[in-house]
Chain A
Amino acid sequence: MTPRAMAVAFSTIVVREVRRFTRIWAQTLLPPAVTMTLYFIIFGNLIGSRIGEMGGFDYMSYIVPGLIMMSVITNSYANVVSSFFSMKFQRSIEELLVSPVPNWVILAGYVAGGMARGLSIGVIVTLLSLAFTQLQIHHLPVMVLTVILTSALFALGGFINAMLATKFDDISIVPTFVLTPLTYLGGVFYSIQLLPEFWQAVSMANPILYMVNAFRYGILGVSDVNVVVALGMILVFISVLSAVALVMLKRGKGIRH
């Protein structure tokens, strides 16, 4: 395939993915908007006003970056895992397998599709947060880079999950039992400075803590972790998961007999 043909194939996959999640917007775009609004009202306004400051900011301002990041992470992952597994289930994945699209273009297309949904939700949640607090941007490049790389990383995770999944139950195990606990314990609602030393050390093993804090640094200028380390770690994870996904595609794991 020529580079131009690959570009057409890539954009075809992305457009198809975007068409899919916008067609079912009531299942994809609306729920996170409703959930996050409830978080803002209950945790930010009602409970937050009694908590006072955290990290030098009022509680609502402190949790907004974490909640935006939580939405981006779960939706980037969910989009790819559900879309790719549905294609396996309906066997429409064969449309791609018989075509000359290189594996890396397939992977890039799905990851970009997942990022499109994750970042769209990120924008929606950000706009909603403006109704409750004023957002300042401390370091725009760090904020943008962190959210884009994190979205790509979890879209990759969703892709690998979908390749390994053999039934619908398998696509909800990781989000329910891994992503949600790690996100809630990843400094979305609190600074790890509040924790005893032991649990601070344990929290440092949670990769989502780094992403949430790097993003919070971009917006508020405060972080529990070193931002350069956080970005470097995301890049390493992206490289490793990309390599794993490409090997699985080459071997046809779960998609070829």
Chain B
Amino acid sequence: MSHALEIKGLSKTYGDGFAALKGIDLTVAEGDFFALLGPNGAGKSTTLGIVCSLVNKSGGAVKVFGHDIDTDLSAAKMHLGVVPQEFNFNQFEKVFDIVTTQAGYYGIPLKQAAASAEKYLKKLGLWDKRDTPARMLSGGMKRRLMIARALVHEPGLLILDEPTAGVDIELRRSMWTFLEEMNRQGTTIILTTHYLEEAEALCRNIAIIDHGRIIKHTSKRELLQQLNLQTFVLDTESPLSSAPVLEGFATRLGDEGALEVDVEKSQSLNDVFVQLEREGVRVQSMRTKANRLEELFIRMVEENAREKLEEAV
């Protein structure tokens, strides 16, 4: 299988001596929908910044569709579309001009650029705003404008850094649908996000980065299989003064007095209810405590932090 992105031994040390990346390896297959996750300051944006030529690397190699950014940067850039975390267009320019100007930077003649701009502005619901200065757009529209701008030269690899940050739920869902469609049509997509449900809903493969190192690089399915424990939150009819002891299950009282029960994959929920019935506890409603991927993510980052602490000691 050919790779849309290959990163080998990538390192970055900033001028102040901070080592943001400590030799990471990463591959993203062509056609993949890939999530790069990690806590703030883990190295996500630095990694993507190097791939997009916004950050100078200290060491290692990066290839985009086989084109090395050290020896064949121009070809590598032709395959890349970038949607950054922060708005980075001229706020005084009109929407249409921003998109066609970007196409011009890729050497696309104006007539062809105008047609491509129209296509993506229409797809992203911005065509009616084409003559509006960018500063007059809402936050969600500005995000969509950056996506249209990134796609105007039809890149094979689309990189999105926190694409739905600050976007309302309805718009987020419509952006998901759009990105899924782009991916179905063959565009490889890499995104970073703080909304782990976004990664869980969209991505097939995931890497987790922490303290400048990749701590997990696998498929979403495999990652979720590692999750053999799920916490259920039970709202009881009468308030509980203490958590009932259930054989084989860990229990505790959570926020607002709700009962939390840890259930392993091999265990049955029926056993929980049978024992609760026996204790005279009646359950009114039930929900899972957290998003599955979020739980795994937090656990992995915490484990990584613990290991680091042990190494230091």
Write the residues of chain A forming the contact surface with B, with a CB cutoff of 8 angstroms: 1-2, 4-6, 8-9, 11-13, 15-16, 19, 23, 86-87, 90-92, 94-102, 251-252, 256-257
Contacts and interface: CB of A to CB of B under 8 A. Distances in A.
**Interface of chain B, helix or strand or loop or mixed?**
loop
Given A9-B105, A12-B104, A98 B14 contact: no
Nearest to A257: B55
**Interface of chain A, helix or strand or loop or mixed?**
helix
A23 B107 CA distance: 24
B174 interface: no
B54 interface: yes
Contacts of B104: 8-9, 11-13, 15
A120 to B, nearest CB: 20
Interface in B148-185: 149
B53 interface: yes
Contacts, number: 86
Contact of A92 (B78, B89, B108): B89
Interface of B: 14-15, 49, 52-56, 73-75, 77-78, 80, 82, 84, 86-92, 97, 101-102, 104-109, 149
A15 B56 CA distance: 29
Given A90-B91, A256-B56, A96 B49 contact: no
A8 B73 CA distance: 19
* Of A1, A8, A86, A251, most B-chain CB atoms within 10 Å: A8
Contacts of B108: 5, 8
Contact of B54 (A87, A92, A97, A102): A97
Contact of B56 (A11, A99, A252): A252
A19 B110 CA distance: 15
A200 B90 CA distance: 47
A256 B55 contact: yes
Contact of A90 (B73, B90, B97): B90
A99 B153 CA distance: 10
A6 B107 contact: yes
Contacts of A100: 73-75, 77-78, 105-107
